[in-house]
Chain A
Amino acid sequence: MHQRVAFGVMVALLVLAPFFVYPVFLMKALCFALFACAFNLLIGYVGLLSFGHAVFLGGAGYGSAHAAKVWGFPPEAAILFGTLVAAALGVVIGILTIRSRGIYFANITLAFAQMIYFFSVQAKFTGGEDGIQSVPRGVFLGVLDLRRPLTMYFVVLAIFLLGFLIVYRAIHSPFGQVLKAIRENEPRATSLGYRAEHYKLIVFALSATLSGLAGATKAIVFQLASLTDVHWTMSGEVVLMTLLGGLGTVFGPVVGAFIMIGLENYLATLGAWVTIVQGAIFVVCVLIFRRGVVGELGRLLRRPL
């Protein structure tokens, strides 16, 4: 019940926000919020820390940018294509990595991500250092002209809410219960007859797909797909957003993403300071603030948010 209230508040805020805040900033934050929610599905509910999630964000970005610019796909088809690229990557990388645990898993996903990064630097269609620039936004579903900022914003909001609700549904379903059981005690979940690896693979692919949805949308919004989105620093950033907002909370990743994007906006002129501040937030969160903003809030209200 209280989560529905919180959801209502969030939707109301997001609907009103573009009339007060610069829409491009909001759209960026929403894309990252969806990315962080997808990432949280893995770390918060299965306890798997993927340190290579940028691959799905960036890979889908390249997919949708390429489809929209070179093949002339309409935006909805381009986003769908980008998402499918991420899903395919998720299945392949998932199959290779899912047998490993804990730190090994983090390490291995990171290494795969770096491999895809080097591939993106060299491949022809990604445009190397330049990326894919001036991607057309086009007309969504043939009626909504995305060149108008507010229209674009509400389409992004709808995509974000769709992704958010999918994550919400997954967490609160019997499937989500099994995931939590695996997180708490994998051998026991296995002995109860659940195929832990299948569940983990499915949720990994789902997380990759939703990260891809975020990345594909982001490429259309910013009309750009670049190496930044595939680089491992981006993987670190999503970890930070989720950690700051609250691991394993429903709304934490959204809050974390908005804080981090706001902070980056604010610090953008200071160059290397962004990295220093990010590092400091990491250290503080890990040492004394492990529940994150929403986790602490939920504890104060005595209700999981």
Chain B
Amino acid sequence: MSGGALDPTTAPKFQVAAKALLGDSQLRKNVRHATNVIQTKRARVVGEMPDWQELREAGKQIRRHTMRHLDFYLEEFERNCTAAGGVVHWARDAEEARQIVVGLVKASGANGQSPTEVIKIKSMTTEEIQLNKALEAAGVHAYETDLAELIIQLGHDQPSHIVVPALHKNRSQIREIFRREMNLPELGGTPQDLADAARRFLREKFLRVKTAVSGANFLVAETGGVCIVESEGNGRMCLTLPETLILVAGIDKVVPTFQDLEVLLQLLPRSATGERMNPYNSIWTGVDKVSPGGDGPRAFHVVLMDNARSEILADEESRQTLHCIRCGACQNACPVYQQTGGHAYGSVYAGPIGAILTPQLMEMHHAQSLPYASSLCGACYEVCPVKINIPEVLIHLRNKVVKQQSSGLNILANPEVMALKAVAMVFRSEGVFRVSQELGRLAELPLSRKDAQGVGWIDWLPGMLGGWTQVRDLRVMPKQTFRQWFEERSKAAPGRRAGDAPEKESGNGH
């Protein structure tokens, strides 16, 4: 799927988008292949760590401690970053962040000339706020320099994964995009050919464009430093070659001390790409004031963006969402994501983390179908390097959605709410439950058909329940319920104790 930006305010419901994507066999093959490759690599490098569970716990504690004292660490970061020559800006929401960045870009030109181009490092935070669109509207073209982001940009596509944004494309599709967009009709199809084409295309931008925009993996409060990890080195070119560097980060990206990176930089690469260490780890602080003609940007700005993160922090049960270090392991492990790919989630944050983060970033006004885009299988929780209990947060958010749907007159428009409330009534009383079972037997009679073994099966159910029978049959209720069998059995042989082998199946009692 390509085309419009992934915008949770306008995206179709997950179910609707998923249905369309499930028909794309090429996409499903690509997603399955890529997630399997990464998962296998991850399992190998995680398996070799004897203290992986302790590391996960340490990661969780670092993130939890930081979120408990977020105000303190953010201000500490601001002080230290400023002292090192950086300029810190605060953005309440996406709109403010866009305005600040556009303003800084405009002001960054030499000789009063405002630039018409910037280069960018892969940054999900700038995707979240649709920064490229805002820059374009202000007459500034942003070149994505991360290889996968470049593929997405040239293919007029959208990212489908937080670490591997072009995961849904295979090599021959990428070749077609490069041939068309870079005007290279003779381009070969080997990885070397494609890397070479991207390198030539990007190298020219690195040398020409003087303003860069980046995200961040971590902000270090203790030093005012910033950490970015990547695989290609393109990010480092963006960080070091331009004269102005504008960094946009969510306020959740801060960590207290430099030493905390010891834990997080072990957890992140192993979880994200199945590598022991990222090929490029850039950690720097402010600007070089000692040798003004030296390396790195002359001007360094950090935009600290809230954009609903404070709201998430205020919710005791779901604030662990902010512990996320954006490794994408939950996406690779998720059996739902593996079927649909990322675009079904209608957000740059897809998969299990997207299913909890996106609706909260929207303050529950949009993306309410996402908390339901999970079978609650728990594979995400199992691989999360900072132990975010994603299923628990999903359930918490479902509760919020149900509260919205059950308020006032909404309830009448929603058969599911009515049905589940009715079933809850039935479960509350044994008498009502027994009567309902009998009524159920009557109700299923006209739908039931006997198979060759004389067992009744239902192959069509009305309304919402039709989702079940579209691919599954449903066996009718047994003639005798377990409850009835249990009661009769105790009457027939009062001396027997629970735990004896049941007679029903064995046929020859004791």
Q: A and B, one complex?
A: no
The residues of B with any CB-CB pair to A shorter than 8 Å are none
